[in-house]
Chain A
Amino acid sequence: MVNFIIDGKKISAAEGTMILEAARANSISIPTLCAHETVSRSGACRLCVVEVKKGKRAKIVTSCLYPVEEGIIVETKNERVMNVRRLVLQLLMARCPESEVICELAKEIGIETQPRFIPDKDKGKCILCRSCVRVCEEIVGVSAIGFSCRGADKTIGPPFNEDSAVCIGCGACAYVCPTGHIQMEATEDTRKIWGRTFKMKKCDVCGRYFAPEDQLKYISKKTGVPLKELAICTNCR
């Protein structure tokens, strides 16, 4: 076990635990947007920054990626930390003025918009946290979406923004999206995502449409379970 201090509180955690998890386990809240439990950490949103003091040196780190160390003193809400968090939220509010999640988060922490930043109109609610890209690569394993361009022009989508041939319509990307930028439109027997419409499969038992046919085919191929056995929804299995 590693012993250290967060916000004046003595805490111990197993080696390899990230500061974020150690803090949360001890009821110290740290806001995050891009840290989703199902995917690897990227440290992109920078909302979870904390200050770590080690001897004489104090540095700002992302708590989602920084493993706890013996004897460190962590501050999660001091002025230096809050200055970064304030900036990040003001920047994200200016990027995604329509995002309720970000506005809510800013309100909770007591941060107002920076009038000097002219709000963007073309970015939707995407904060480029890459949770969607990571889940598609790491969990689903198809890498149907990725980044294009660089810097502020960076966008997320299938290659060349054309219909992706490898997307299985599982909707995992929409599920992990923290701001609701990725929209999945569903009718009874179809699902539309990233511009492609997927046909849904009817459960052989209850007759409910429960999953895209492409997704079931992909699972069958990957696991070796015959497609027939997958034709029953999880409720009826």
Chain B
Amino acid sequence: MKKISALDDLKKAGDKGWKSLFPGGVKILVGMATSGIASGAGEVYAALAAEIKKRKLPYVLAKTGSMGMDCIEPLVDIIEKDKPRLSYGKMTAGKVPDLIDQIIKGTIDKIKPVYRIDEENLIATRDKNHYTKGNVPEYLKEIPGINEVPFYKKQIKIATRNCGIIDPENMEEYIARGGYLALQKVLTSMTPESVIEDVIKSGLRGRGGGGFPAGVKWQSCRSAHGDIKYVICNGDEGDPGAYMDRSVMEGDPHSVIEGMIIGAYAIGAQEGYIYVRNEYPLAVTNLTKAISDARSRGLLGKNIFGTSFSFDIKISKGAGAFVCGESTALMASLEGKAGEPRAKYIHTVEHGLWDRPSNLNNVETWANVPVVISRGGKWFSEIGVPHSTGTKVFSLVGKINNIGLVEVPMGIPLKDIIYDIGGGIPGGRKFKAVQTGGPSGGCIPAKMMDLSVDFDALREAGSMMGSGGMIVMDEKTCMVDLARYFIEFLVSESCGKCTPCREGVRRMNDILHDICAGRGREGDVEILESMAKGIVDGSLCALGGSAPNPVLSTIKYFREEYDAHIKDKKCPAGVCRALIRYEITAKKCTGCGVCAKKCPTGCISGEKKKAHKINRKKCIKCGICMESCKFDAITVE
């Protein structure tokens, strides 16, 4: 492979990439990130390949990452010259022949696309790519444009700019969309100091949870004594329900690599590590390929861009410990030791990996860097709100209609994410709360819907930004049970080094289990609060230090639910089995017998066409009867 050593080489590679992105004729693109594969994109891809071969069509079939709207995957996009790009959702192998027919005939009569894309922003170069030159064919006018789809309307894609658009295995496609231009600019026309200055000016804060200003961290690491320095990418995303970093690593690995090279140049590092959890096999594969491609084209290794700057990256796979997402535990793990944190009174930017100055940022932070550089810190700082600039990627999951990954400007009101982007709560149920910041974050109640989603406002509300998980809960979620769930997760993920976290969180778990099982005692809430304070203050690392957050925030906003469990022995949401019972309303029961048939313990009986009864002694409170009743005759109390 010819090395890329000048701007001209980069342009040539970009031109090649552009031809691969838009080969002319028909190109079919399948979203093959983990979210796509999990919903069956593999079968769809295989069916498309077979159909194209069978009909001997000159179509190009390619893979891409995820655009974010996971609730409609598998997603297949059709790109044709001078036509809007069409996105077909919920594709199956069975629909493939019809889809191919439609392409040939130029119709959309059998399967309707979810939306069309007329143009797209190339955020790194401020260009636009026009698919249509302004002419949308008449038959496609009924299909909403992507910017009219509420899910995408308020999004600004910086970190996920290429996800779902490029083939993550094709470096030239990344270059075609402005990739490695920032690196070229940095290495040929900027001093390390001016790079840091620009990143400080951008206001970019660490996207992994801490929210520490990235530029300031870089500055400290640059000023730290030592010839050997490291940059590290934290890809050990472990929050339940969060997959922002996975999507970036799978869908656009070069953005992370380019960010790291720029960071290494600014800091003065020669080596970099990407610590990625092994539960993300596709991320590992795509990163490995991206690193090897970048190396073979001279963008990693010795004398990058023909300059005196040399830098290389290695991948280290994590073995699945949540605590290894904590920077000092991650570095211990990188060194081959058990993943246990250490006190950070001496900062890792001075004494980090192998006791050398080390700068760690997470995947999303690194992916933002190339755009910060190419568009300038000032441009970036104007997105979002003061002190929380730019965008943030969130994974919107739980009881929400549009499950997926969204990238929104900081400071967006929470209700816009839940109702506009997320499309509200399924089944007409009421929105109750949203858990942000993962298991060590906190929940924000529905009454705080106007809250600005930024680092500081979330912290003031008793939660945190964390890495960007957003778990939505409806009225059928018990907040005590929710706190118990998260605390239980943290009990099993505590490394066990310090007393407050190892012993304290499990004792909190015991008390929460008691409350959910109807064994709660008066004064338990006060004990939990006092313990929480001691654990927050006394724990060694941020895992313990934030572990009590789910309990504290649910007590703060849903105290009445704790009281109902403890004093009245009732679970208002109807979740905690020990505190609920199922009842058949005789008036509504038609005696159809469906519930009796479905009941796994056979505890429902009654004559045909007459009201049935539940034998409480045999009932295991699984709730299957209530789900199966078509007449709403079964209720939970």
Contacts and interface: CB of A to CB of B under 8 A. Distances in A.
A31 to B, nearest CB: 13
B492 A151 contact: yes
Interface stretch (B50-58, B422-430, B536-544, B615-623): B536-544
B500 A151 contact: no
A220 interface: no
A232 interface: no
B198 interface: no
A1 B614 CA distance: 78
Interface stretch (B40-48, B174-182, B524-532): B524-532
B534 interface: yes
Contacts of A116: 507, 511, 521, 524, 527
A47 B499 CA distance: 9
Interface in A135-165: 147, 149-154
B538 A88 contact: yes
A43 B538 contact: no
Given A49-B538, A95-B503, A67 B345 contact: yes
Interface residues of B, number: 34
A128 interface: yes
Nearest to A61: B345
A128 B502 CA distance: 10
Contacts of A45: 498-499
B630 interface: no
Contacts of B533: 83
Interface string B131-170: 0000000000000000000000000000000000000000
Interface string B329-347: 0000000001000110100
A152 B491 contact: yes
A80 interface: yes
B495 interface: yes
B510 interface: yes
B343 A127 contact: no
A176 interface: no
B537 A128 contact: no
A65 B345 contact: yes
A117 B499 contact: no
Contact of A60 (B321, B499, B511, B538): B538
Contacts of B507: 91, 94, 116-117
A1 to B, nearest CB: 20
Contacts of A62: 343, 540
Contacts of B527: 114, 116
A174 interface: no
A44 interface: yes
Contact of B343 (A65, A87, A94): A65
A229 to B, nearest CB: 37
B168 to A, nearest CB: 33
The CB with the most chain A CB atoms within 10 A, among B491, B499, B500, B534, is that of B499
Interface in B499-513: 499-500, 502-504, 506-507, 510-511
Q: Size band of the A side of the interface?
A: 35 or more
A127 B506 contact: no
Interface string A80-91: 100110111001
B535 to A, nearest CB: 7
A3 interface: no
Nearest to B496: A154
Nearest to A116: B527
A87 B535 contact: yes
B456 interface: no
A1 B133 CA distance: 73
A87 B534 contact: yes
A92 B494 contact: no
Contacts of A147: 338, 496
B532 to A, nearest CB: 10
Interface in B473-504: 491-500, 502-504
Nearest to B523: A116
Contacts of B494: 150-152
A46 B540 contact: yes
Contacts of B496: 128, 147, 149-154
B61 to A, nearest CB: 45
A204 B61 CA distance: 85
Given A60-B538, A87-B531, A114-B527, A127 B499 contact: yes
A236 interface: no
Interface in A43-94: 43-47, 49, 60-62, 65-67, 80, 83-84, 86-88, 91-92, 94
Interface in B331-381: 338, 342-343, 345
Interface in A9-52: 42-47, 49
Given A43-B498, A65-B345, A151-B494, A80 B537 contact: yes
A152 B503 contact: yes
Contact of A88 (B491, B500, B511, B521): B500
A46 B492 contact: no
Given A67-B345, A83-B530, 11 more contacts: A44-B497, A44-B540, A46-B540, A80-B537, A88-B500, A91-B507, A128-B497, A150-B321, A150-B496, A151-B496, A152-B494
8 contacts: A43-B540, A45-B499, A83-B533, A91-B503, A116-B524, A147-B496, A150-B495, A152-B491
Q: Which 3 A-B pairs have the closest CB atoms?
A: A87-B534, A84-B538, A154-B496
